[in-house]
Chains A and B, each alone.
Chain A
Amino acid sequence: MSDHTQDAATIDLLFRLADDELMMGHRNAEWTGVGPVLEEDIAFSSMAQDELGHAFAYYTVLHEHLGQDNPDTLAFRREAADFRNARLTALPRSDWAAAVMRQFLYDAAEQVRLEHYSSHPFAPLAQLARKFRGEEKYHLMHGKSWVMRLGSATEDSRARLQAALEALWPHALGLFEPGQGGEDAGASEAALCAGWLAQVCPLLVSSSLQVPAERTAKGQWQSRVAAVYGRYAEPAPERVALLDAMQKVYRLDPNADW
């Protein structure tokens, strides 16, 4: 692969990582001030800040190493069609079960991904992956403990969690949409997805939930439902709505200092 193609794949990968984190951070911050208990309000705000911080770091690498605009311009001025987030990350805030389930499915994917990227040939990415792995570990612990608690607490909480799982599952699979910049040097999306299924399925099952996946003869998990892809498609309405809100003030005067 030529350097040029390699760069395109890396740029594409970093945009996917950064845009996912930005959208998750934005959506999670929507719980700030209105969580079901004060303590969770605070926890979701913390995770939102971590995610926004990670997005900023990825954009900074794109800016400093790969010739892209500065982070604020990338986040607050880019057109919806140029974003590369998976649909899961931009879906509007609904109930707490969906918030917890999204966080769990997403953080498990992050963990698998960051594990692989810790030895990525592109050194700035490998460095960030090693750094973020530690923080994401706590997000995942938080998500896991909520899934386990709500899955077994009351019939109502289990039913809500099950509904959230079914609604979010195809979108979560969409996190592993193959990149358009060519297959990444770190790991194939299919391999990452297999690693993710092996992580999340047993925990969901042990939390009294019905997983839309089954085990093959070889003992691997396979989804029974198709993924919803959306990174490169016509921008989904939730991405457009999120960006309208996020870029509103900046766009009052994109040349001003805010």
Chain B
Amino acid sequence: MTLMNPLVRPVITDDDGRSEDEKLVTFEARVAAGEKIEPTDWMPDRYRQQLIRMVQNHGNSEIVGALPEREWIPHAPTFKRKLALTAKVQDEVGHAQLLYRVVETLGKPREVIIEELLNGTAKYSNVFNYPPETWADVGIIAWLIDAAAIIRQMLLREGSYGPYSRALKRICYEESFHLKHGHDICVTLATGTQFQRDMLQDALNRWWNPIVGFFGPPDRASVHTDELMRWRVKLKTNDAIRQQFFDQYVPRIWELGLSIPDPELRKDDESGRWLYTEPDWEEFKRVIKGHGPCNAERIAVRRLAHEEGEWVRRALAAAANDQAVPVQ
């Protein structure tokens, strides 16, 4: 049975008695040559811990990110929207499953991952701590947050850890449909009635800052960046990814006749960089620490689902034991 995979930490097959320093040299040379590191390969502990933290955060973001959108499945206003939104949220849950498997290859089982999400020790993307207030929010989330996620994940796909890189291939492919679904909702509202256009502008006004913050704090505040870049755990800095997002999406947002709620936002001709108002990073930290508008609710919903499912998982485990009859 694969449901509750009790994970044994993968056995390192190239543990050949060389010193840690020598192994590190080989490891870094392989990464530099563009090779993928696999679960049974030796890896520096900091690499392993950083990947666990990152992929676990990504998996958690998928499962928690499913929550604001699932609230709107019952209200999706046409067959096409209802089907696309259900499929999208289903994909997010599937991504969480896939990513938790990747974390398991690094030595942390699903039960622990879920426990750490529920007790607040593990984090997820901050952007999901804001409430989706109207149907237009569903469009903005699926279009712009998924776009932001795709830009980041397309880069991470080129990272050095094999299982994560392969999971991201599938995830990026599926996310591209989400983005189309979101863009389609936004175009429909932008070209609809005055009421619909206002609804969309209002959604953008509320989501813009969380989206700019999605890429994380500016580089000057980020620790360990050099090492992570050398190990290809990180591929570009937060600021560089944020700039790429502005480049690709600001013109598309303007194309829909929407205005972006940042009077400073413009591309500087000389440097080729976007100038913008920094989000309030203190506020950002406060929300990450659990004090955003929806942190408590998101975790409460997950905890409730977990507790209500407890008897089911116990029953599954009992049924599995029952079936494990030795072959005569």
**CB <8 Å contact, B83 and A53:** yes
In-complex Cβ contact of A75 among B79, B87, B315 (8 A):
B79
Known contacts A95-B308, A257-B188, A257-B192; A45 and B315 CB within 8 A of each other: no
Chain B stretch 62-114: residues in CB contact (< 8 A) with chain A: 63, 66-67, 70, 73-79, 81-83, 86-87, 89-90, 92-94, 96-97, 100
**CB <8 Å contact, B70 and A32:** yes
In-complex Cβ contact of A157 among B73, B308, B311 (8 A):
B311
**CB <8 Å contact, A252 and B315:** no
**CB <8 Å contact, A32 and B73:** yes
Q: Which residues of B contact A26 (CB under 8 A)?
A: 74, 82
In-complex Cβ contact of B93 among A38, A52, A56, A249 (8 A):
A38
**CB <8 Å contact, B75 and A56:** no
How many Å lie between the Cα of A186 and that of B318 in the bound state?
Answer: 44
How many Å lie between the Cα of A26 and that of B81 in the bound state?
Answer: 13
**CB <8 Å contact, A52 and B74:** no
Cross-chain pair count, CB within 8 angstroms: 142
* Closest beta carbon of chain A to B249's beta carbon, Å: 23
**CB <8 Å contact, B75 and A152:** no
**CB <8 Å contact, B193 and A256:** yes
Q: Which residues of A contact B319 (CB under 8 A)?
A: 149-150, 152-153
Interface-centre pick from B74, B87, B89, B100 (highest chain A CB count, 10 A): B74
B270 at the interface (CB under 8 A from A): no
* Closest beta carbon of chain B to A83's beta carbon, Å: 16
In-complex Cβ contact of A72 among B74, B78, B86, B314 (8 A):
B78
How many Å lie between the Cα of A60 and that of B315 in the bound state?
Answer: 42
**CB <8 Å contact, B193 and A253:** yes
Q: How many residues of B contact A (CB 8 A)?
A: 46
How many Å lie between the Cα of A35 and that of B94 in the bound state?
Answer: 12
Q: Which 7 A-B pairs have the closest CB atoms?
A: A36-B309, A45-B90, A153-B315, A157-B315, A36-B312, A34-B305, A33-B70
A30 at the interface (CB under 8 A from B): yes
B3 at the interface (CB under 8 A from A): yes
Known contacts A37-B313, A246-B74; A71 and B79 CB within 8 A of each other: yes
In-complex Cβ contact of A250 among B78, B97, B308, B311 (8 A):
B78
**CB <8 Å contact, B188 and A258:** yes
**CB <8 Å contact, A42 and B90:** yes
Q: Which residues of B contact A48 (CB under 8 A)?
A: 86
B 210-222 to A, binary, CB cutoff 8 A, 1 in contact else 0: 0000000000000
Interface-centre pick from B304, B310, B315 (highest chain A CB count, 10 A): B315
Chain B stretch 39-68: residues in CB contact (< 8 A) with chain A: 63, 66-67
Q: Which residues of A contact B77 (CB under 8 A)?
A: 76, 249-250, 258
Known contacts A45-B89, A246-B74; A37 and B316 CB within 8 A of each other: yes
Please name 26 pairs of A and B residues whose Cβ atoms are closer than 8 Å in the assembled complex, sorted by A. Answer: A30-B73, A32-B66, A33-B67, A33-B70, A33-B92, A36-B309, A36-B310, A36-B313, A38-B96, A41-B90, A41-B93, A45-B87, A49-B87, A52-B82, A55-B79, A75-B79, A76-B77, A76-B78, A149-B316, A149-B319, A153-B315, A154-B311, A154-B315, A249-B76, A253-B195, A257-B192
Instruction: Output the nearest chain B residue to A53 by Cβ-Cβ distance.
Output: B83
A29 at the interface (CB under 8 A from B): yes
Chain B stretch 295-328: residues in CB contact (< 8 A) with chain A: 301, 304-305, 308-316, 318-319, 322
Interface-centre pick from A35, A36, A49, A95 (highest chain B CB count, 10 A): A36
B243 at the interface (CB under 8 A from A): no
Q: Which residues of A contact B322 (CB under 8 A)?
A: 152-153
B196 at the interface (CB under 8 A from A): yes
Q: Which residues of B contact A39 (CB under 8 A)?
A: 3, 97
A208 at the interface (CB under 8 A from B): no
Chain A stretch 67-91: residues in CB contact (< 8 A) with chain B: 71-72, 75-76
Q: Which residues of B contact A55 (CB under 8 A)?
A: 79
In-complex Cβ contact of A42 among B83, B94, B188, B301 (8 A):
B94
**CB <8 Å contact, B315 and A150:** yes
Q: Which residues of A contact B82 (CB under 8 A)?
A: 25-26, 29, 52
How many Å lie between the Cα of A240 and that of B312 in the bound state?
Answer: 30
B135 at the interface (CB under 8 A from A): yes
* Closest beta carbon of chain B to A164's beta carbon, Å: 13
Known contacts A152-B319, A258-B77; A32 and B90 CB within 8 A of each other: yes
Q: Which residues of A contact B309 (CB under 8 A)?
A: 35-37, 96
How many Å lie between the Cα of A190 and that of B308 in the bound state?
Answer: 38
**CB <8 Å contact, B86 and A45:** yes
Q: Which residues of A contact B196 (CB under 8 A)?
A: 253, 256
Instruction: Output the nearest chain A residue to B191 by Cβ-Cβ distance.
Output: A257
**CB <8 Å contact, A154 and B314:** yes
Chain A stretch 2-35: residues in CB contact (< 8 A) with chain B: 25-26, 29-30, 32-35
**CB <8 Å contact, A246 and B89:** no
Chain A stretch 236-257: residues in CB contact (< 8 A) with chain B: 245-246, 248-250, 252-253, 256-257
Known contacts A30-B73, A149-B316, A248-B75; A156 and B311 CB within 8 A of each other: yes
* Closest beta carbon of chain B to A58's beta carbon, Å: 12
How many Å lie between the Cα of A55 and that of B79 in the bound state?
Answer: 9
How many Å lie between the Cα of A245 and that of B77 in the bound state?
Answer: 10
